[in-house]
Amino acid sequence: MDGVAEFERLRPAMFGLAYRLLGSAAEAEDAVQDAYPKWASAERGSIASPRAWLAKVVTNLCLNRLTSARAQRERYVGPWLPEPVLTSDDVLGPLETAEQRDSVSLAMLVLLEQLSPVERAVFVLKEAFAYSHREIAAILDVSEVNSRQLHSRARRALDRTDERRISDPRHLGKLVESFLSAARDGDLPALENLLTADVTAWSDGGGKVTAARRPVHGAAKVARLYAGMFDGAGHVSIEILEVNGGPAVVATAGDVLFGILGFEVVDGRIRGLRAVANPDKLTFLSGQLSRSGWPAGS
């Protein structure tokens, strides 16, 4: 297999790695593209494992980007959320298990923001791609002992804040359908019954469009927020599609995508809602939909 064909064969896996590390589809694409010149100029005979070699290059490119991204996110207007990605086409790699789907959820990608760049890299390489600590040590130029320590530290940091329960995908789909129906009907009691008491809703407009700049907490307030949001939205086309490994509400007007709403579920109820409306963050998903023949109508 020639160098170009080999790189293209591995591109989806490298994109999935970069996206989990960066939380940005656009930056992940750039990181993978930046890896190609290094691959093209490398001595092919010295590369024992192309996948591991590219993983090392892409991971280190992402670590450099993460350092500057953190400074930018500190100046971000309102809550920062990851760029949503349509995952029904395996663009982030196979999502056959609940754990694989969870690894690309908006909730998990937000949680990963609290880790240091190197902790995040170890966690993603181990949990999402099943690299051994020996392989991770070679990718990050650390010792195996250090890799294990970083992984343990990352797990502890996430375990302190993460009480999610991974649900059956069919149940999630029905739950989102019930939420959408109740919101459209303005049925506040039904909405509240679908939410946990401590539910939180985040909206990412990035200062580009109107969106709440602070999280909204509590079942009653969140129910009112979304009942009001869906009231009178007759011109809006709504579809439930697989975004970041789970069902999400995708809203369009005409042929313009203007928002997605993702759900975090704990023990059968919605504990988190994450709405992405920043148009800059919808470019990648909009392109995916266009290539799939969208708009399909609803």
Domains and CATH numbers, the chain: 3-80+115-161 (1.20.140.160), 169-291 (3.10.450.50)
- State the residue for tokens 């990035």: 206
The answer to whether residue 23 scores a pLDDT higher than 90 is: yes
What is the pLDDT at residue 166? 55
Work out the average pLDDT over 195-223.
95
What is the pLDDT at residue 46? 85
Q: Which residue has the higher pLDDT, 30 or 88?
A: 30
The answer to whether residue 122 scores a pLDDT higher than 80 is: yes
Contacts of 148 (CB under 8 A, 6+ apart): 133
Mean pLDDT, all residues of the chain: 90
The answer to whether residue 74 scores a pLDDT higher than 80 is: no
The answer to whether residue 2 scores a pLDDT higher than 80 is: no
Q: Please, which pLDDT band fits residue 296 given cuts at 50, 70 and 90?
A: low
First-to-last C-alpha distance (Å) of the chain = 44
The answer to whether residue 117 scores a pLDDT higher than 90 is: yes
Alpha carbons within 13 angstroms on the beta-carbon side of residue 175 total: 26
| Contact between 203 and 221 (Cβ < 8 Å) | no
246-253: strand order across its sheet: 216-217, 195-204, 269-276, 256-266, 246-253, 237-243
Which of helix, strand or coil describes residue 237?
Answer: strand
Entry pTM? 0.91
Q: Which residue has the higher pLDDT, 39 or 233?
A: 39
